[in-house]
Structures are given as C-alpha cells and as structure tokens.
Amino acid sequence: MENRRLTVVSKIYLQTTQEEPFAVDVRYEEQVLSDEQVWERHTKVGEGWIPLDCGWVDEASLVVITNNEMPVPHNQLTGSVGPVNVHILEVGESQSRIPIFEIPPGQSLPGRPVDLKGLVIRSRGGTVRFTVWVLPA
C-alpha cells in the first residue's frame, strides 16, 4: 500500500466595516490507511429524508457536501434576500431525523462523521442539487 496523507488548509474570516477581520485557521494532516478511491457523487434531493449515499466507503477521514444551488441574491432596494427556506440542505442522523447541520446554497460542509452510514440528507424546500465527496480513512 502506498503512503497516503490527507491535508486540510482552510481560512475563515469575519469582517465588519469598523474592525479588523477576525480570522480562524484550520490546518491539519493525517495519514490515510485505506487504498480505496475517493467517492464522488453529483445528485439531488427533495424534502424527504434519504440516506446520504457514500458509495463503497465504510469509514471516512473526511466527507464534504457542497450545495450546488446558486445563492439567492440580496435585493439592494428592499433589503430582502428572497425566500428563506429555498434550496437549503439539512444533514441529520438516521435515528432521530433531526437536522444537525444546514448547508445554504453555494456553501460546503466538511466533516468527519462518527457513523458514516447513519447520515441522512434532505432539502428544506424544493429540489436541491449537491455533490458529496467521501475520502476513505
């Protein structure tokens, strides 16, 4: 088996007009023991909970879910941003079916689930296109 390593580098900023930006660095790396390929799936979901398809991967070092819908533009004249619940993904666990994460249009959620096969996903309103990448552990 070849030597494989997962490296994550991310920078998150919170900026206001009056203050310096607040930054959070997220950096880590770890050895990946599996020689399995990365699972990638482009799909869509409606308003009912369905299991998150993670393909052949049983244990993940990282799962990334990207909401492929376009963000609703901010209306400069009225200050409104359109319907609140349109095209938002919700991620939960299969037993409770209670949302534990939401992914707005154009955003991604990376994470390492404890129970990969226990993840479920749905749209809060309408049909949502998304991509899931599962990197084996």
For the chain, which domains are there?
34-136 (2.60.120)
In this prediction, residue 86 carries a pLDDT of 80
Phi first, then psi: what are they for 116, rounded to 5°?
A: -55, -45
What value does the mean pLDDT of the chain take? 91
Kindly report, residue by residue over 36-62, the tens digit of the pLDDT. 999 999 999 999 999 999 999 999 999
Q: How far is CA 20 from CA 16, 23, 26, 27, 45, in A?
A: 7, 9, 19, 22, 39
Q: Kindly tell me if the per-residue pLDDT of 11 is higher than 90.
A: yes
Reported confidence tier of residue 63, pLDDT bands at 50, 70, 90: very high
Phi first, then psi: what are they for 94, rounded to 5°?
A: -65, -30
Q: Kindly tell me if the per-residue pLDDT of 33 is higher than 80.
A: yes
In this prediction, residue 74 carries a pLDDT of 62
Reported confidence tier of residue 128, pLDDT bands at 50, 70, 90: very high
CA distance 50 to 87: 16
Q: Kindly tell me if the per-residue pLDDT of 95 is higher than 70.
A: yes
Tokens of residue 45, six digits: 């979901």
Residue scoring higher pLDDT (83 or 89): 89
Reported confidence tier of residue 79, pLDDT bands at 50, 70, 90: low
Tokens of residue 29, six digits: 């790396």
Q: Kindly tell me if the per-residue pLDDT of 85 is higher than 80.
A: no
Reported confidence tier of residue 72, pLDDT bands at 50, 70, 90: confident
DSSP string, 51-85: E---TT-SSEEEEEEEE-SPPPPP-TTT---S-TT
